Amino acid sequence: MLNILLTISPIFILIGLGYFAFKRGLIKAEAMPSLGHIVLYFAIPALLISGLSKIHISEIVEPYFLLAYGLGSLLNLLVAILISFKLKRNSLTQSAIQSMGMSIPNSMFVGFPVLSLSLGLPEVASLSLMMAVLVENILILPLILILLEYSAGSKGGSVNIIRAVALRIIKNPLIISIAIGATISLLGIALPKPINQSLDLLSKISAGLALLFIGAALANIKPQTQKSWSDISLVIIGKLMLHPALVALCVLFLPNFNPNFQQAVIIIAASPMMSIYPIVGERYGFRDFCASTLFITTLLSFLSLTVVLSLLRGL
């Protein structure tokens, strides 16, 4: 257990540094969007393009990883909706917001750095991130966004809702990066040395910069003063415990595949929810709830990820 704590402690040290930097004014609130954009549009895309362009197209996708992550996340989403909407009698909008927090991890800013440190295999970490991003942005997130828009009574009908969600997917810089990297790999294009070196330099700062951003983002959110502990607890348990458990169950029942990818898919599912959770929640009137839940879940993930990694190493 101590070795696991030492392994992932740099992740939370960097998150703490980002938190401290924001509180001390070293990172200004007005700079947060720019910092996030650097990570989202440069650092992580460089990592994806660099990693995918250096391997053969047949090695890019592990079908059973996609199945385990997709099925596990879908099951988690259905359980979340069932509990929140049917059992707790929450509104459909609130149920969709809670299901988003339970079913979409922060694979980019937390999952990837944890994978990089715990597995020590950069290629597995980058490929796992790529596959997780595909499942999240093509399957899980669109379903939740459609549900949210439907529950909010968006004008224009279902066709316009689906069109808006499709445009969101197409414009996603991570999806674009995956398409570029896969195309380079498929065509066997050798990138010029200066471009390769530039991508490598950006790739090396991606994990650290992402963690600093998470820390600053946590310092920048304003949790609600009156907390609905039952609803917050539901999201925390669903994200940190139920989601990785369901993904692990899918891994167990699927045909055997690369053990490194088996561990990677469970670790990503065990990560706290995505950092834009409060931003999405604000559109539907749940910013304070989402901010409080994100803050608490990220803190608790230090313990939950330690447990998950310990269990995986004991297998």
Which one, of 233, 239, 292, lies nearest residue 103 by Cα?
239
Taking 80 as the threshold, does the pLDDT of residue 165 lie above it? no
pLDDT at 226: 59
Q: For residues 58 and 186, what is the distance between their CA atoms, to the nearest angstrom? A: 9
Query: Contact 313/8 with Cβ under 8 angstroms?
Result: no
Q: What is the pLDDT of residues 245-302, one digit of tens each?
A: 999 999 999 999 999 999 999 999 999 998 778 777 877 788 788 888 988 898 899 8
Domain boundaries, the chain: 2-313
Query: Contact 8/305 with Cβ under 8 angstroms?
Result: yes
The residue count for the chain: 315
Torsion angles phi and psi, residue 273, rounded to 5: -70, 165
Q: For residues 32 and 147, what is the distance between their CA atoms, to the nearest angstrom? A: 29
Q: What is the pLDDT of residues 37-50, one digit of tens each?
A: 887 788 878 877 88
- Among 19-28, 57-66, 148-157, the minimum mean pLDDT is found in 148-157
pLDDT at 1: 61
Query: Contact 262/251 with Cβ under 8 angstroms?
Result: yes
CA geometry: angle 72, 76, 82, nearest 5 deg: 145
> pTM to 2 decimals?
0.80
CA geometry: angle 99, 102, 103, nearest 5 deg: 85
Torsion angles phi and psi, residue 105, rounded to 5: -80, 170
* CATH code 1.20.1530.20 for 2-313: yes
Which one, of 32, 29, 48, lies nearest residue 172 by Cα?
48
Q: Which amino acid is at 107?
A: S
